[in-house]
A and B are shown apart, each in its own frame.
Chain A
Amino acid sequence: MTMPIDATEDIAKAICSDKFDAVSGEVSASLFKGSGSSVSRLSLCPLEETWEMFRQRVEKPPLRILERIGVINVGHLVEVGQNFENNPTTLTVEAVPLEGYLSHAEIPQKISRGLSNEIVKHLNLKQES
């Protein structure tokens, strides 16, 4: 059973040191490339708590550091997919709650490098204050 997330919701993507060059500020286009990209729903886990949750789940200092969190509205993400000139793509975000990680969701569609670039451009990059 799939449960699409409402277009009004915002989702957050962890951006770690393997996908972020802190000197140039560039984000890797491979961030969303492929299928089943994991995100977190900010409606269930506010940004302040998402920092802590991502730290526990994805960060492994000194190997892998959580550098930024990328935020995008689901409706905006869908528009980016539809407006992608090379290959208009219907994107959805599906709730995939995990044990201890209720806000977990996935973008099930296969995302090309070109489309991933477009999504990255539209991310609102958050840096912990």
Chain B
Amino acid sequence: MTFSKSVLPYKTASWLSSRTEESLLPRHRIAAPGDVAREQLVARKLGVNGWKRWQYFRQHFSGRWGDEGQCPVSPRSQQSLLMALESLNFPPEVKPSLFLTDDGHFELAWRDEEGKSVQMEFGPTEFELFMEESGIEETHPNGLLGEVIAKHFSSK
């Protein structure tokens, strides 16, 4: 018996063919290459809550949103966020909060050992750093992300 004879003819199930095309669209976002590594990185650095918020923003804020037509999540902001997470090391008890700005930028916020606020907002070309303790409020090009993180957080 040849292989081709062993294959049953394809027939669409009646319950399937009766569905509309819209209903056949995947209900969950299909993972892109590298997603598993990204998920592991986000979960490791931000914890389960941070991972959930990251997915929430990626899945629900990819188009215009909000009452004022706020900007969708910026893929370059996400890229910048992930680059920062690779370099940032938080104490085990610190799990930064993740937010989405009206410009579609990811924003990280956490507390230092003094309980003072530290924030980073990741734009498509530059990022903002705010450190309450030292009064730092700076904007840098994304190319300096690693350098700035090393300068301010290398021993943290």
Contacts and interface: CB of A to CB of B under 8 A. Distances in A.
B99 interface: yes
Nearest to A56: B67
B82 interface: no
A57 B60 contact: no
B43 interface: no
Interface string B17-58: 000000000000000000000000000000001000100110
Interface centre among A18, A28, A58, A63 (most CB of B within 10 A): A18
Interface residues of A, number: 26
Contacts of B49: 21, 23-24
Contacts of A112: 137
Interface in A45-88: 57-58, 60, 62-64, 85-86
Interface in B122-154: 128, 130, 132, 135, 137
A64 B53 CA distance: 12
Interface stretch (A3-11, A29-37, A89-97): A29-37
Interface centre among A28, A33, A86 (most CB of B within 10 A): A28
Contacts of B56: 17
Given A57-B67, A86-B135, A24 B95 contact: yes
Contacts of B100: 18-19
A33 B105 CA distance: 13
A109 interface: no
A26 interface: yes
Contacts of B97: 21, 23-24, 26, 28
Interface string B108-121: 01000000010101
B101 interface: yes
Interface centre among B56, B95, B98, B101 (most CB of A within 10 A): B101
A17 B68 CA distance: 15
30 contacts: A16-B66, A17-B56, A18-B65, A18-B66, A18-B99, A19-B100, A21-B49, A21-B99, A23-B97, A24-B49, A24-B97, A28-B97, A28-B99, A28-B101, A29-B107, A29-B109, A29-B130, A30-B102, A30-B121, A33-B101, A34-B102, A57-B67, A58-B66, A60-B66, A62-B60, A85-B135, A113-B130, A113-B137, A114-B130, A117-B130
Interface of B: 49, 53, 56-57, 60-61, 65-68, 95, 97-102, 107, 109, 117, 119, 121, 128, 130, 132, 135, 137
